[in-house]
Structure 1
Amino acid sequence: MTSLALQPRVVPRLPGAFGTRRSTHVVERNMTAYRRMWLMLLTGVFEPIFYLLSLGVGLGKLIPDVAGPTGPVKYVDFVAPALLATAAMNGAMYDSTFGIFHRLKYDKVYDAILATPLTAPDIALGELIWCLMRGGLYAVAFTAVVACFGVLTSPWAVLAVPAALLIGVGFAGLGMAVATFMRSWQDFEIITLLMMPMFLFSTTFFPLGVYPRGLQLFVEATPLYQGIEIVRGLMLGDVGPILALRALYLAVMAVLGLWIASRRFGKLLLA
């Protein structure tokens, strides 16, 4: 008789290269796991608020109006949309990289999940939804704080949170795909090396015009710049077709990242 330990694992193949409705079970699992770690979720809420209070409000008292998309604006009005976009990026990116890598390499959570009817694409889609929820939590909390400073003056500002969710899902797809290629914790220094320049140079604190043209071209190609320009345009009332193209950039990044992560999960877990 063949030993159970030697029997090949049979994983049902369900239709859908990007996952099925069963992906919600992955979300449920993560929600259950974070019941005792809710403080970790809140840390991402306070970080952009501290930046807003120290730089946007504190330093902003010493800085004259800066060039915005609709003309000169107060510094706090310029910085707040960028910090909202950054909060969505950080919330999605950190969990889709560090969290997924830990569950994949050390906790072996996904190996256990594949013993159920769920498939590798289900895992990828479920993790994407969870990262979107986490990024959305940060975006809603930060928007509520920003509203107290009178920044949300444009009627288009009601779309700032959906825009932040799009930023979150775009970076979550990218983060998941990258996490499947990580070999050790040391590899995550590359992610930090990439995220920090985006945070500092993607017009978060300074208008694009202060940079030399060569650096401007680099900044304009980054995903965080696309997200910041969307949120800033909505909050300041500068809405045009270019925002749809920027949104398409982030949507394509999310779909491509989900597709790569689905294939990589299947290769790593079913090998």
Structure 2
Amino acid sequence: MATLLARVVPLPMHGGARLLVERNLMVYRHDWLVLVSGFFEPLFYLFSIGVGIAHLVRPFEVGGRLVDYAAFIAPAMLAASAMNGAIIDTTYNLFFKLKYAKLYDAVLATPMRPFDVAVGEVAWALVRGTMYAAAFVVAMTTLGLVASWWALLALPAAVLVAFAFAAAGMAGTTYMRSWQDFEFVSLVVLPMFLLSATFFPITAYPDFAQVLVRLTPLYHGVALVRGLTLGTVSWPLLISVAYLAAMGGLGLWIAARRIDRVLLR
């Protein structure tokens, strides 16, 4: 069924990369519970923080309009869940395939190229992330946390966030030597999750801290998704789109070159 789905739904990628996506679908056919569980983590965050704590926080102004805390936090949770899902799939899971399962040694013995491997694994992270993001957008809409028709673009925006972090995560994983190196992943991801204007407006920071926060990729993901769901659309969102697209493209290029060097040296 998984293979049939991948063949019926056209995937805009090279044949080798598409086969790698099909392979991942076939694996999760037997571990579907692990796949489905990813739907619930961001929803738990939304209910516990965005809905529970929201009753203790007064509405505040964002983009010239008053916004409830739940409506403020929900798009940030969407962007953060896209980041977390992409990072997990292209770091921990990929490291096991690369160093222990030796999957790519077998893959590259076929006509597939290192670039196919990079595109295929990033594409699988996007397939998985798109399913989670779609479910989250439906939950936001059901709870009345969507304030604009611009929210129709929130799903592709979340996919762009996932693309940026999936490609960067895969590139970084090719430099990992052991599981201990993944402490650096947590060292980077956790502060971004907490401090990228996720739980409170960036204006709450001192001026020098605002400059640093604006340089982080998750801030641009949060700003993009939040601007679309709240309807506060302006030209700076295009900067966020360009930032995330450039990050994803650069990460994909580095990942392909590193896989070539690590496995074919």
The 1:70/1:46 distance shift into structure 2, 3 A limit, reads: farther
Deviation, structure 1 residue 44: 2.4
TM-aligned CA deviation for residue 230 of structure 1: 0.4
Shift of 1:43: 2.7
Matched with 1:8 is none
Following TM superposition, by how much is the alpha carbon of 1:153 offset from its aligned partner in structure 2, in angstroms?
2.4
Unaligned runs of 5+ in 2: 1-12
In structure 2, the residue matched to 1:14 is: none
| 1:234-253 aligned within 5 A | 234-253=228-247
Query: What letter corresponds to residue 163 of structure 1 in structure 2?
Result: A
Q: CA deviation at 1:41?
A: 2.0
State how far apart, in whole Å, the 2-side matches of 1:182 and 1:119 are: 21
Superimposed CA distance per residue, residues 186-213 of structure 1 (whole angstroms, 9 cap, x where no aligned partner): 1001101110011001111111111112
Matched, 1:139 2:133: yes
Of structures 1 and 2, the larger Rg is shown by 1
Partner amino acid, structure 1, of 2:98: L
SS of 1:72's equivalent?
Answer: strand
**Structure 2 Cα separation of the partners of residues 189 and 137 of structure 1:** 28
Residue 50 of structure 2 corresponds to residue 56 of structure 1: yes
Number of residue-to-residue matches in the alignment = 253
Determine whether 1:32 maps to 2:22: no
Question: Where has structure 1 moved over 6 Å in runs of 4 or more?
Answer: none
Q: Which amino acid aligns with 2:224?
A: I
In structure 2, the residue matched to 1:106 is 100
TM-score by length of 2: 0.93
Structure 2 distance, partners of 1:37, 1:193, is 29
Mean alpha-carbon deviation: is it higher for 30-39 or for 245-254? 30-39
How far the C-alpha of 1:76 sits from its partner, in A, is 0.4
Q: Distance in 1 between matches of 2:196 and 2:145?
A: 20
Aligned identity (percent) is: 49
Deviates more, 1:220-229 or 1:209-218: 209-218
Does the alignment pair 1:222 with 2:216?
A: yes
2:183 is equivalent to residue 195 of structure 1: no
**In the aligned structure 2, how far is the partner of 1:255 from the partner of 1:213?**
30
Q: 1:151, 1:178 → 2: CA distance?
A: 35
> Paired residue for 2:117?
123
2:35 counterpart letter in structure 1: L
- In structure 2, the residue matched to 1:13 is none
Query: Which one-letter code corresponds to 2:130 in the other structure?
Result: G
